A = this chain, B = another copy of it.
Amino acid sequence: MKAALLSSGVPAARIVDLAHDLPAHGVREAAFLVREMAKAFPPETVHLVVVDPGVGGRRQAIAIETNRGPVLIGPDNGVLVPLAEALGVRAVHRISGSKLLRRPRVGTTFDGRDLFAPAAARVAQGLRASALGPPTTLRRYSVPTPKRVPTGALGEVLHVDRFGNLITNVPSRWLGRNVSRLRVTVGRSRRRMVPFATSYEALGRGVLGTLGSSFGLVEVAVGEGRAADRLDARVGTPVTLDWRPRPRVRGEKDNSARPRKRR
């Protein structure tokens, strides 16, 4: 892909590597990571995203113009949707191969190199995205949405980072400023009361807890350990967070070291 960009006239000085290790077939997790990593780039950025298990199949190749400026280029499999929504969708165009491919493709399994990189290079050099092909619509894509419930929130694991921390889809701001502990259930693990800490350090080595992640989302972590392993969790595992009081269910265990009074 870099060879394709350079050969299309994009100088090395303008290429920024964002990630080389997005989850292989995990479009949903990749979509979340792409949004978080890419949303703060300057308006003149062209984002070239290739997480593309459906390459060679029926999915469209698209270019998205956004209200904030960046143009997004990649497959229409949902990987661009969260970022596009964060930046505001202005227009979507289907990338027409016939306008870009000067020679027969060498294979059918790498549109990143053969189609998306040449398209991104053209846009980086000033071509309007609308010149890449006709208008089209984004494929519908269901982003997992957290739900507010009386006691807190129901969500799921969006991402497991390389430290084994579980990034959920529940916004930290839902908790308000005064929550210091909450009840957590991850998948089939038992429900437990844990701290809502301000740092990994505050958790202490081996202690399971929650924090506001760098993504503005609640994160389940183990101090210097791997929450994913401890809780046998992965992307999509349901997470329940309760920070509001509710009647005690008979027989339920409260793992809180310092039980709170009911208010």
Residues of B within 8 Å of A197, CB to CB, are 56
What is the predominant secondary structure among interface residues of chain A facing chain B?
loop
Q: CA–CA, A13 to B3, complex, Å?
A: 15
Interface range on chain A (Cβ under 8 Å from partner): 35 or more
A57–B212 contact, CB under 8 A? no
Closest 7 CB pairs of A and B: A56-B199, A110-B214, A57-B201, A13-B13, A3-B40, A106-B216, A57-B199
A4 contacts B by Cβ under 8 Å = yes
Given A107-B213, A108-B212, A172-B107, A2:B16 Cβ within 8 A: yes
**Partner among B6, B109, B113, B163 whose Cβ is within 8 Å of the Cβ of A16:** B6
Given A54-B200, A199-B54, A200-B55, A109:B214 Cβ within 8 A: yes
Query: Which residues of A line the B interface, CB within 8 A?
Result: 2-4, 6-7, 11-18, 24-25, 37-42, 45, 53-59, 106-110, 113-114, 162-163, 172, 197-202, 211-217, 219, 224
B53–A200 contact, CB under 8 A? yes
Give the residue name and chain of the B residue nearest to A110 (CB). B214
Give the residue name and chain of the B residue nearest to A109 (CB). B214
Residues of B within 8 Å of A163, CB to CB, are 24-25
Supply 13 A–B pairs (Cβ within 8 Å), ascending by A: A6-B45, A7-B40, A12-B13, A25-B224, A54-B199, A54-B201, A106-B215, A108-B199, A109-B199, A109-B213, A109-B214, A110-B214, A114-B214
